[in-house]
Chains A and B, each alone.
Chain A
Amino acid sequence: MSDNGTIIRMDKVSKAFCGTRALDEVDLAVRSGRITGVLGANGAGKSTLLRTIIGLYLPDSGRVETFGCLARDLGPKELGRIGYVHQEGELLNWMTVGQLIRYVAAYYPNWNGDLERKYVADFDVNEKARVGSLSPGERQKVAILIAIGFEPELLILDEPASALDPIARARFLDLLLELIQTENRTILISSHILSDVEKVIDHAIIMDRGRIVRDCSFDDLREEYARVRLTALHGPLPAQLPFAGVLTCQRNDAEALLTLQNQSPESIEETARAIDCKAEIQPLPLEDIYRLVVGEK
């Protein structure tokens, strides 16, 4: 790890598959102790990014370092600090769940049996069932368990909750929040379910067509956008609304719903007062922010 706590560094990393650029000159630095959400549409390059970080994919150009080591050269010592959940990953289908857990646990001297037992109980994992006979959601639970059981410093989760039911997803998010209490534990999570992800992340990376279009703290991202409900106090709304940074506007005579970018709450309220209106300012949900960032109106 470098002095400033950066555990993952990517410099101008590109990766293409059959002519399609999955990663396009990506620069990234992930500091330890963060929960970073990697967000993007299907085919944006999220899985490619995560797999490149742990050395499963080799970049066509650029440099990837994880724990101060080139990703392609990650050895057992570094890999022993990384937990990874694949999207629809392959498990050993012929084993029972208990057999698989014991097999994985054998590789990690620091495997936490208490955590394993707690997880098995909380998530109703059936240890006697064959892995191959599990439903997609049950498989995902097992995949998550074998990734977190040794309490890794770096946890990479590629769509970990996509097959979980809402109750299991809520429990999983609580588990993530528990895990992050440990100092210097870092989590990278990619997910389509943005309403879940926004509850846990403190840093956001938004990808679009192989490029990172936003890489900032989640608080900064939220503060960048605001939804303003403008209500005229006396008479109709003015024809022209003198707000800066207007991205979207829906209005009638008495009310308007605006999406503003890079406007402070004070300036919004001042402008509203100036036109004799009341402004209710609300943060945008992550889903809406995502759509705005990648250009969809």
Chain B
Amino acid sequence: MHILTANLKHFHQRRGLYLLYVLGGLFTLAFVAALVGQRIGGEGEFTMLLIIAFFIGKMVGVMQMEVASKSFSFSLPGHRGTVRRLVFLAGVATSLALSLPWIAHPGLTSEGPAVVVLVLASGFSANLIVYLISVAVTVRKTAAFVNGLFFAAILLVYFEIGVALERSIVYRPGLVILLAAATAGAVWLWLGRPAWFRECCATPWIGFLDPWDRSQTHKFRHVWARRFAKAPHPGFDRFFLDRIRSHSGSDPRRYIWGTLYTTSSLIEPQGKGVVSLVLMAVIWAGYTPQAAPFVVPVVALMLTGFINPPLYSELPVAGSRKERSLATMAQMLALAGFSTLIVGLALFVLNRLMPLVPVIEVADLRLSFRPVDSSMLLPLIVVFPIMGIVRVLFHGNPLRLMLGTVLPLGSIMSVALLMKSTPLAYVAATAGILWAACFLVVHRIAMESDLVRW
């Protein structure tokens, strides 16, 4: 088998990628159909094609890093040249496919075939630039920067930057093509350097499905542990340890305090990040009220990442099955309460500070901060029991955990929208039912299942 073909097999052998293919493919088709069918454009809409190229570049970059970071691949004969060939092959195919919708750009309706071909080449080049930059940045492991670009991409659609990009592609094709040639040359040379392979070899790299796979994250736990550089506050430890000691071994409160301690000690060093995330979400919801029903559930979903069920703890202190069950429920309730408190505080403070929050005016766009309705807290009490069930059911199974985290997002957002117009009593009843279901699932697993999973 040719080495290039062997590497291409990664794209169809990884079953987890099919989810991306389906979701990404549907989105792309729907968007292209809208572009072509409705003849929209001229206001930055076509830049969404660049965003799609960006994400494809990220996926290809991640796949290459997953192989290059494995030490065995360093000595694979012929492998090094294959990386850039594969990247460019995928890049050319992607850019070609994404350049075709440019035919439907409103600016080309009265132009001749030569101009249309030139604009297509410009569209191809622009896609290639973005794709290659995405690959290059991904393999440099600057994940935060890459993820930040996601938000920048959303902003492109709202501001003149997207319009400027689109107009450059249509009206300055020569410049775009030249830039693409320069970028392609630079990335081709850069990906072929032997030094790059040495840098990647055995480097800590959490692969595509690996964040949900504890056996993989354990391998690079030393990298993750570096974020906890600050020494713990002795008073913090003393508070919880005294509470643990104050209850006897048969008192479930001992284990509940123990779980609250381990969870708090995990959140405390990351507290600034959590607060920043919540503030950003609430500010976003305030400036774009139509996004509010979606933003808060997403934040809630991210906060459920702190659920680390003591049900499956391998430390000898987790107690009997009954104590593990109670401690797991206590953890989920505490996290839900904590999240509601943090988001509620942020809402309260920002709503009170509303007269001081500036109005954003860019071109024709005017965004003013409006008070966020406290009903936005309701999704929090619904998300946690759902994600609690997902986490205990799919613990140790990375693919199912990922699906269980991503797939309910749509339903959670729909529920968030419904909640705004639903009487509080019904909301409370729904939340009660979900929490009861969560308790039953946790209890059943605690009493009837194996508590060690790989």
A interface residue numbers (CB < 8 A to B): 51, 55-58, 72-77, 79-80, 82-84, 86, 88-96, 99, 102-104, 106-107, 109, 128, 130-134, 146-147
A130 pairs with B225, CB closer than 8 A: yes
Other CB < 8 Å A-B pairs besides A56-B451, A72-B321, 7 of them?
A51-B450, A89-B314, A90-B214, A95-B262, A96-B232, A103-B244, A130-B225
B316 pairs with A146, CB closer than 8 A: yes
In this assembly, does B210 line the interface, its C-beta being within 8 Å of a C-beta of chain A? no
In this assembly, does B237 line the interface, its C-beta being within 8 Å of a C-beta of chain A? yes
In this assembly, does B203 line the interface, its C-beta being within 8 Å of a C-beta of chain A? no
> Which A residues are in CB contact (< 8 Å) with B314?
86, 89-91
With A92-B315, A102-B237 already in contact, the answer to whether A51 and B265 are too (CB < 8 A) is no
B323 pairs with A51, CB closer than 8 A: no
Interface centre among A73, A103, A104, A107 (most CB of B within 10 A): A107
CA distance A76 to B317 in the complex (A): 9
With A93-B225, A103-B258, A132-B222 already in contact, the answer to whether A79 and B319 are too (CB < 8 A) is yes
A73 pairs with B450, CB closer than 8 A: no
**How near does chain B come to A52, taking the closest CB pair, in angstroms?**
9
CA distance A60 to B232 in the complex (A): 44
CA distance A126 to B410 in the complex (A): 47
With A103-B258, A132-B221, A132-B224 already in contact, the answer to whether A91 and B315 are too (CB < 8 A) is yes
A83 pairs with B316, CB closer than 8 A: yes
With A76-B319, A83-B316, A146-B315 already in contact, the answer to whether A107 and B249 are too (CB < 8 A) is yes
> Which A residues are in CB contact (< 8 Å) with B447?
72
Q: Which residues of chain B from 280 to 319 have a CB within 8 Å of any chain A CB?
A: 313-317, 319
Closest to B450 in A: A57
> Which A residues are in CB contact (< 8 Å) with B313?
90
Chain B's interface size range is: 35 or more
A76 pairs with B452, CB closer than 8 A: no
Interface centre among A57, A103, A109, A133 (most CB of B within 10 A): A103
Q: Which residues of chain B from 19 to 57 have a CB within 8 Å of any chain A CB?
A: none
> Which A residues are in CB contact (< 8 Å) with B435?
none
CA distance A99 to B266 in the complex (A): 12
CA distance A71 to B305 in the complex (A): 32
Closest to A156 in B: B316
Q: List 13 A-B contacts (CB under 8 A).
A: A51-B452, A55-B320, A55-B321, A55-B451, A57-B452, A79-B320, A82-B316, A88-B218, A92-B315, A103-B244, A107-B254, A130-B225, A133-B221
| 0/1 string, B229-267, CB within 8 A of A gives 1 | 001100001000100110001100010001001100110
Q: Tell which of A80, A82, A88, A96 touches B249, judged by Cβ atoms closer than 8 Å.
A: A80
**How near does chain B come to A22, taking the closest CB pair, in angstroms?**
11
Closest to B252 in A: A76
| 0/1 string, B217-229, CB within 8 A of A gives 1 | 0100110111010
> Which A residues are in CB contact (< 8 Å) with B237?
99, 102-103
> Which B residues are in CB contact (< 8 Å) with A99?
232, 237, 265
CA distance A104 to B265 in the complex (A): 14
CA distance A76 to B447 in the complex (A): 15
> Shortest 10 CB-CB distances between A and B: which pairs?
A132-B225, A76-B249, A132-B221, A130-B225, A106-B244, A107-B317, A89-B314, A133-B222, A90-B314, A106-B241
B250 pairs with A94, CB closer than 8 A: no
> Which A residues are in CB contact (< 8 Å) with B315?
90-92, 104, 146
